[in-house]
A and B are shown apart, each in its own frame.
Chain A
C-alpha cells in the first residue's frame, strides 16, 4: 500500500543478540522518525532524519542503538547486544515538512521487539 511499512512486525530475540528493524516511508516524504513505545509509556523519540541533513540522534538511549537511512528512503534501526529493557514496540513515522512546520506524521504499525 501507500502507507509506512515496517518489518518485521514481531521479533523475539535472545539477550545479547543484534536486531535490525526496517522502515519503508511514504514515497516523497522527506522526514523520517523512529519512536519507541514501552508498555504503559508514551512515544519516546529516538532519532530523526530530514533529507540530506545530519540526523538528530539525541533520543537514542545508548550507543547500542544506531540507525541509518539510505538514499533518503528506507531506514534501518539496529540494536546491538539487546537487553531485556529494549523490549518495546518500535514505531517509524514519516512526514512531508512544509513551511518549516511539523507536518502530519504517518505512522507504521510498528515492530514489536521481545528480548528474552
Chain B
C-alpha cells in the first residue's frame, strides 16, 4: 500500500518568513496530492491540492510543488502570519476510481509574531 512520509514534524518560523513542508510517497500510481490544515476546535480543511498532470499550483500565499520522478511534493507558505499556525497534513491518493487517501503524520507549524 501507499506510504507517506512528512517532514518536519514541527516547524517554527518568524512572522513574514516562508515555511516549507515536504512529503514523499511510495506508490508511483498516486496522482492526487491534497494538503489539509487542522486548527484547534475546527475540522481539518483542504487548503490546496495538486494532480499529477501539473508540477506546481499556487493560491495566493500558498503553493504546492510536485516532483513525480522523485515522488515528493511540498507545501510552501510565504509571508507567514500568526493565523497560519496549525497542523498541516499531506496526503496521497491513486486518484481516478479510488477514494483512498493516505495521510502523513502532520507538521505542527508555529508562526512567531
List chain A positions with a Cβ less than 8 A from chain B: 3-4, 31, 33, 35, 40-45, 48, 50, 56, 91, 93, 95, 97, 99-102, 104-110
Contacts and interface: CB of A to CB of B under 8 A. Distances in A.
Contacts of A31: 99
Give the one of B32, B45, B100 with max A CB within 10 A.
Answer: B100
Contact of A109 (B42, B97, B106): B42
Given A104-B34, A105-B46, A106-B43, A45 B100 contact: yes
Contacts of B4: 42
Interface string B1-41: 00010100100000000000000000000001010100001
A105 B101 contact: yes
6 closest cross-chain pairs (CB), A and B: A107-B43, A42-B105, A43-B103, A107-B44, A42-B103, A102-B93
Give the one of A31, A44, A107 with max B CB within 10 A.
Answer: A107
B73 interface: no
Interface of B: 4, 6, 9, 32, 34, 36, 41-46, 49, 89, 91, 93, 95-106
Given A40-B105, A102-B93, A107 B45 contact: yes
A49 to B, nearest CB: 10
Contact of A101 (B36, B43, B95): B95
B106 A91 contact: no
A74 to B, nearest CB: 17
